């Protein structure tokens, strides 16, 4: 019985990852966080700063820069605009496995962006995500009004 439970536990995370990959309508990337989250300021749109949180992820031996739009973090607060949102700072830890859906790019190095909801506007980009332990960290739609359909 113990062996059966261990087998189930060992393979259950594989099923979660497979489900995440199947749900991605963009480019899927799974890897290990190598560099802790850091803040990068951005342009302002309608008075809201479009800052980013960056992490480095190793996937298949390649390093990817991940640009996460802070306005899509579940706890984004524009009054605290010069730091990584706490939900991202707490969840995106070095050594953690992360599943990403977005848009890969190679200009200026390997990376992935658009790792957030597309606000229901399917033509604007993939309906991306940043998932840690089954939790989507970038599905806040409070600021979708910045990109009217």
The pLDDT value recorded for residue 4 is 36
Pick the more confident residue, 76 or 11. Answer: 76
The encoded tokens of residue 10 equal: 């060992």
The residue-averaged pLDDT of 98-107 equals 95
Rounded Cα–Cα distance for residues 83 and 95 (Å): 21
Q: What is the distance between the alpha carbons of residues 114 and 128, in angstroms, rounded to a whole number?
A: 6
With pLDDT > 90 as the criterion, what percentage of the chain qualifies?
64
Categorize the per-residue pLDDT at 20 as very low, low, confident or very high, splitting at 50, 70 and 90. low
The Cα–Cα gap between 68 and 137 comes to 10
Q: Determine the Cα–Cα distance for residues 68 and 117; give it in Å rounded to an integer.
A: 11
Segment 52-61, tens digit of pLDDT: 999 999 999 9
Domain 2-146, architecture per CATH: Beta Barrel (2.40)
pLDDT at 9 over 50: no
Please compute Rg for the chain using Cα positions. 16
Rounded to 5°, angle at Cα 65 from 105 and 134? 100
With tokens 């399917």, the residue in question is 122
Ranges of each domain in the chain? 2-146
- Is 123 within 8 Å of 110 (Cβ atoms)? no
Residue 33 above 50 pLDDT? yes
- Given this model, what pLDDT does residue 107 score? 92
**Whole-number average pLDDT of the chain:** 85
pLDDT for position 7? 37
Interatomic CA distance for residues 13 and 55, integer angstroms: 22
Encoded tokens for 7: 């087998």
> What are the structure tokens assigned to 121, written together?
């506007």
For residue 91, what is the enclosing H or E element? helix 86-91
């Amino acid at each position: 019985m113990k062996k059966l439970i261990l087998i189930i536990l060992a393979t259950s995370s594989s099923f979660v990852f497979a489900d995440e990959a199947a749900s991605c309508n963009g480019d899927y990337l799974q890897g290990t966080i190598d560099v802790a989250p850091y803040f990068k300021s951005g342009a302002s749109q309608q008075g809201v700063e479009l800052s980013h949180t960056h992490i480095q992820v190793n996937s298949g031996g390649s390093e990817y820069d991940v640009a996460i739009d802070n306005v899509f973090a579940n706890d984004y607060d524009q009054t605290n605009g010069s730091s990584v949102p706490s939900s991202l700072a707490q969840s995106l830890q070095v050594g953690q496995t992360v599943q990403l859906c977005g848009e890969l790019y190679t200009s200026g190095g390997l990376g992935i962006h658009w790792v957030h909801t597309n606000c229901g506007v399917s033509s604007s980009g993939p309906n991306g995500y940043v998932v840690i332990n089954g939790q989507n960290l970038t599905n806040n739609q409070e600021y979708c009004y910045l990109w009217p359909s």
